[in-house]
Amino acid sequence: MPNRTFIPKTGDLEKKWYVIDAKGQILGRMATRIATLLMGKHKPTYTPYQDGGDYVIVINAKEVQVSGNKAKDKIYKHYTGYPSGLKQYNYETLMERKPEEIIERAVERMLPKNRLGSKLIKHLHVYAGDAHHQQAQKPVPLTV
């Protein structure tokens, strides 16, 4: 009988919970590691079309760092849907208002742009402080 590729069933996949402390971490390097965990690329059972990734909790989002002049130069844009509704914020302004959104946007843009990516981003939980609400899942601390 020829060798066949093993494809795991959705129910057979184990999902773990990880906690990442963003204090002093570089935004892009941390976001790539988080995206890899959410997609499940670190597992030998990785399949591009299945949700085989893990859950990730990020704490201390307000203390993430960027290199160079990005704190002043990096611009975040979104469109409200109304005429002349383009809104722009630089990194420093958005960090004061919503530090969680910076990490969420960075990770979301590294995930697949399809229904699976929309499902995977829901497995990311970001908190500005060091407290989170997922103690019942017994998350494992992970250093990036």
Q: Give the total number of structural domains in the chain.
A: 1
Rg (CA), the chain: 17
pLDDT at 1: 66
Residue 11 lies in a domain: no
For 50, the domain range is 16-142
pLDDT above 70: residue 92: yes
pLDDT at 101: 97
User: Band of the pLDDT at 94, cuts 50, 70, 90?
Assistant: very high
Residue 2 lies in a domain: no
Residue 5 lies in a domain: no
The answer to whether 64 and 30 are in contact (CB under 8 A) is yes
User: Band of the pLDDT at 5, cuts 50, 70, 90?
Assistant: confident
Residue 64 lies in a domain: yes
The CATH number that applies at residue 77 is 3.90.1180.10
Residue 38 lies in a domain: yes
Q: pLDDT tens for residues 32-89?
A: 999 999 999 999 999 999 999 999 999 999 999 999 999 999 999 999 999 999 999 9
Residue 3 lies in a domain: no
Residue 9 lies in a domain: no
Residue 128 has what DSSP assignment? S
Q: What is the pTM of this model?
A: 0.93
User: Band of the pLDDT at 6, cuts 50, 70, 90?
Assistant: confident
Residue 1 lies in a domain: no
The answer to whether 66 and 30 are in contact (CB under 8 A) is no
